[in-house]
Structure 1
Amino acid sequence: MNRPPASYRIPSPPANTHRQDPTALFSVAEIRAIEEKAMADIPPGTLMQRAAKAAASLALALLSRVTDSPKVLLVAGPGNNGGDALVMACLLADAGLHPTVMVCADPARQPDDAQRALERAQAVGVRLIAPNPEAVRHPVHWDLVVDGLFGIGLARPISGALHSLVGAINSLDCPVLALDVPSGLDADTGCVIGGGSEGGIAVRATHTLTFIGNKPGLHTCDGRDHAGEVQVAALDIAPELFVPAHAWLGSISQFSSSLRKRLHSSHKGSYGDVAVIGGAHGMVGAPVLSARAAAKSGAGRVFIGFLDEPLPYDAAHPELMCRHASELDFRAGAVVIGPGLGTSDQAQAVLLGALQADMPLVLDADALNLLALHVHLREALAARTMPSLMTPHPLEAARLLRISTPEVQSSRLEVARSIARECNSVVILKGSGSVIARPDGKLIINATGNPALATAGSGDVLAGMCGALLAQSFPVWDAALAATWMHGRAADRLIEDGIGPIGVTASELIPMARAVYNELTEQHAGRDPAI
């Protein structure tokens, strides 16, 4: 069996750390297994009580600025998620509030714990009302709405009267706290269950309190639009009952060991060369953007290899060296290939030469489209022993796997893993919550970024950043994590400075990414990685 190159591998998590780490991500099946083991050794209803207590504490914090008697609506669905909401209502009543619970379930068909929770709510006098979208919208102006409609077990789209109810919740201008996951959102994939074609809908929460462990679907695809601010309540489950995580939410600590402060006694050769190859006729802007990003991400020298007639020089950045692609030397530094490359026979030949070169390689844009078209190129990529890093967006990923874009989006984690494994590469599957995967199946969901990145050329900038970090001797895994994190953080900083998200251009990301890189290096250089 072939093992991936050493640069793809990271140390296994230290014993037990994944059990306390809120960035560790668990699938629904893993959460179910942990929950089942935990419930075997504790009295019935214990986990529901713990979940409700954590949720009530967060609710009180969200209501701390409400001066009058807070008006709280809890929507309780037909399962244990609804039971959590009912117990939470009792705790809020004990705290002096007067919550209202909209009961969206047949009491006779509730699970035992949820049924007991309903009986307790009735006994303590919590106000219970029938499902009604109009009661959500008015006459009360709610200070907080709690979504306890469905948890992680929902398998079909929300429909009928409950569809209207979720629509009413989404129309409110107040905090919405989702228990475990926003109702209607797939906790594994981040997709709205049913999507647009089947009329699916999901609660748009401002806050999500997720139980036992963090879930990937809260952080990718539609998840970030629906989950809001995510907190984890582990419910005091014994550490030995957890399973090892295979995915994490991205953080600086995962790549900080590769950050290095620059020595006074260094020179341009200390920081490597990057060759950016692309620029077929009519597409010269893409490699220029990528090259500018590589230069401002710390590469010692940057070359642009054009398939078409090369520019004499880049007027904005004359330090970039323009060549014809056939003139580039593939014996040193790192190569970024694909921005504006096209899919001609000439492009195919240049890509094959890069794949056969003994140097780190970033494959973007048309390089990915060529790989999807030609088996011999894929075979050359899979056979490489030097680091390879692929940066597909969902359509490019679909072409690589010969599936549809909706299929990619409905299974982003597994798609990233599949491409990484088949192509023996680290993969950055771009999009909301970009997924970074290794050939051995480990992955990270990036936590930075915003809609400002939805602009032409932002992917070219990311590819150039990846190439620069590889040229500076970052291991390929660290380069992918760091570039993706800094790329997203640059967009976040622009928003913080009042620029965007509407109308941000890719060029504006480059100087901000440089600032982010310098700040990270000063603050975190040389620290040990968390995973």
Structure 2
Amino acid sequence: MPIAPRALVSPPLFMAADCRAIDRHWAAAHPTTSLMERAGTATAELAGTLASESGESVLILAGPGNNGGDALVAARLLATQGFRVVVVNRADPAHLPPDAARAWAAWRESGGTILADIPPSQRYSLVIDGLFGVGLQRDIGGEEARWIEAANGLNCPKLALDVPSGLDSDNGRVRGCALRADHTLTFLGLKPGLFTADGPDYAGQLHLDTLGIDAAALPVTPGIALTQLESRHHLPARRQNSHKGLFGHVGIVGGASGMVGACLIAGRAALQQGAGSVTLAVLDERVVVDYLEPRLMFAVPENLVDAQPSVLAIGPGLGQQPRAHALLETALAAPCPLVLDADALNLLAGDVGLAKQAARRTHPTLLTPHPGEAARLLGASSAGIQANRIKAAQRLSTQYHAHVALKGAGTIIAHPDGRYAISTSGGPWLAQAGSGDRLTGMLAALLGQGMDAGNALEAAVWLHGETASER
């Protein structure tokens, strides 16, 4: 039975190459048991619950590969259940993969027909998208693009198999055009592209069916979907006999003239996340108190950087003037966890010396760039970053020996050891000024309370996203 991904704890993410390897290994070990038959059965079961009660036909778009074969199996099974089925497929059966060819033949032998185009002016109870799966390696055009456009315009539920056709399963990028699914039934394991970049806008509600393969038989992968917090993401319960000194002193540097709000937002978030005390080093020296949160302390920036707080965050509203540059240079030498955000990242991108200093740090370094900042750090374009968000985050993590959160739809958290996670929390409400400053404060607070750097970054991103999801 399909599983909702949010019910799983840190499920692994499989690239297209992983899925192909799983298929090969299964076929070699189980020559008489078809995964395609299992996938088609799972599709038919879910489709039966999704089809509207209008009595109209189910439209099935079947492509030239195994994804199309899954759809043809589902067509045959739905027909036996009494559904009227319209199958559209232009593939040459002589050139189909073996399993897909058998599914094509079984559909025809059962009396099923295959149309070369979508019948005009017809209504449907459901569309099943089996055009292209994880093997797509080109932009979609021609007849398939026209079919996708037509399907997107139909007023009925749409179920995509494995991934919506046109969505790159590895990186979430749309290849030319893509089906906007209401539901996606993905097989064997979860795919990164369903959770980041354009994936969340096209995949709809996700369902996972492992097709009966034991998790122990699946390959080990470096990526996980951060679907909920694990025990490693939680701080220990506070003892009654406690004091503020046990929960860290967070220092936050930023707040140049006209941008003080960024520093205040970060500081307030750090207190809300449990930091024992928070000191703001605001470059605009006219600001010496936060009347809405008077627990925040203020200090001369140079003095705070030298004071060795439990954790230091620099960047919110920092600006890029010479004083900001000097403060960043000093902060990079601080013997404590260091969070770099906003203008600290822009300064880093513009100075090779600072970049080398950051990469040489022996204490934990954490970077929280948005795609524009990541592009400047890597000497790339924002579009290039978005084309492969996982690779970009991993490059940054390697280059700076840092834990990195590449913000955006499906924030990527990359670690220096090669692991990565994609957060499934969050939403468009995070696309707002001050959102990143709040994340910086939350992260600094968790670090100040003693959480491991990598776990703290994952926890902060998740919690930050959950608050936005509630809006």
SS in 2 for 1:40: helix
Residues of 2 paired with 1:21 and 1:285: CA distance?
A: 36
Residues of 1 paired with 2:448 and 2:155: CA distance?
A: 48
Residues of 1 paired with 2:105 and 2:24: CA distance?
A: 24
SS in 2 for 1:303: strand
Matching residue's letter, 2:205: E
Cα distance change on mapping 1:492 and 1:392 into 2, 3 Å:
same
Q: Give the CA deviation at 1:383.
A: 1.7
Matching residue's letter, 1:191: R
Are residue 180 (structure 1) and residue 162 (structure 2) matched? yes
What percentage of residue pairs aligned between the two structures are identical? 46
Unaligned runs of 5+ in 1: 1-19, 194-199, 495-531
Note the 1:28-107 alignment, pairs <5 A: 28-43=16-31, 46-63=34-51, 66-69=52-55, 71-107=57-93
Tell me which moved more, 172-181 or 333-342: 172-181
2:110 to 99, 105, 124: 124
Q: Give the CA deviation at 1:263.
A: 2.4
Residues of 1 paired with 2:137 and 2:233: CA distance?
A: 41
Tell me which moved more, 110-119 or 179-188: 110-119
Structure 1, residues 99-145: CA drift from partner, whole Å, max 9, x if none? Answer: 2111232334322322222222122233532223x63xx321x2211
Structure 1, residues 288-334: CA drift from partner, whole Å, max 9, x if none? Answer: 11111111111111111112324131121122122331231431221
* Aligned position for 2:410: 433
Note the 1:142-291 alignment, pairs <5 A: 142-193=124-175, 200-237=176-213, 241-256=217-232, 258-291=234-267
Q: Give the CA deviation at 1:260.
A: 2.5
SS in 2 for 1:128: coil
Tell me which moved more, 405-414 or 103-112: 103-112
Cα distance change on mapping 1:51 and 1:154 into 2, 3 Å:
same
1:305 to 281, 298, 303: 281
Task: Say whether the 8 Å CA contact 2:233–2:458 is kept in structure 1.
Answer: no
Matching residue's letter, 2:326: A
Structure 1, residues 463-496: CA drift from partner, whole Å, max 9, x if none? Answer: 11100111111111111011100111001111xx
Cα distance change on mapping 1:166 and 1:236 into 2, 3 Å:
same
Tell me which moved more, 378-387 or 99-108: 99-108
Task: Say whether the 8 Å CA contact 2:227–2:425 is kept in structure 1.
Answer: no
Tell me which moved more, 286-295 or 171-180: 171-180
Note the 1:479-518 alignment, pairs <5 A: 479-494=456-471
Cα distance change on mapping 1:44 and 1:110 into 2, 3 Å:
farther
Q: Give the CA deviation at 1:256.
A: 4.3
Task: Say whether the 8 Å CA contact 1:277–1:304 is kept in structure 2.
Answer: yes
* Aligned position for 1:470: 447
Structure 1, residues 209-263: CA drift from partner, whole Å, max 9, x if none? Answer: 1122211111111111111122222223355642112100003343545333232
Are residue 139 (structure 1) and residue 139 (structure 2) matched? no
The two structures have a TM-score, normalised by structure 1, of 0.84
Are residue 111 (structure 1) and residue 97 (structure 2) matched? yes
Are residue 357 (structure 1) and residue 357 (structure 2) matched? no
Matching residue's letter, 1:139: Q
Q: Give the CA deviation at 1:265.
A: 1.7
SS in 2 for 1:406: helix
Task: Say whether the 8 Å CA contact 1:330–1:359 is kept in structure 2.
Answer: no
Structure 1, residues 341-367: CA drift from partner, whole Å, max 9, x if none? Answer: 111211111011111011111100011
What is the Cα-based RMSD across aligned positions, in Å? 1.8
Q: Give the CA deviation at 1:22.
A: 7.5
Residues of 1 paired with 2:178 and 2:73: CA distance?
A: 23
Residues of 1 paired with 2:322 and 2:231: CA distance?
A: 38
Structure 1, residues 144-202: CA drift from partner, whole Å, max 9, x if none? Answer: 11100111111111112221211121223322111111111111111012xxxxxx111
Task: Say whether the 8 Å CA contact 2:281–2:301 is kept in structure 1.
Answer: yes
Task: Say whether the 8 Å CA contact 1:24–1:245 is kept in structure 2.
Answer: yes
Matching residue's letter, 1:204: R
Residues of 2 paired with 1:165 and 1:232: CA distance?
A: 25
Residues of 1 paired with 2:432 and 2:441: CA distance?
A: 16
Q: Give the CA deviation at 1:442.
A: 0.3
Matching residue's letter, 1:101: V
Task: Say whether the 8 Å CA contact 1:178–1:205 is kept in structure 2.
Answer: yes
Cα distance change on mapping 1:44 and 1:181 into 2, 3 Å:
farther
Task: Say whether the 8 Å CA contact 1:308–1:324 is kept in structure 2.
Answer: no
Task: Say whether the 8 Å CA contact 2:186–2:206 is kept in structure 1.
Answer: yes
* Aligned position for 2:5: none
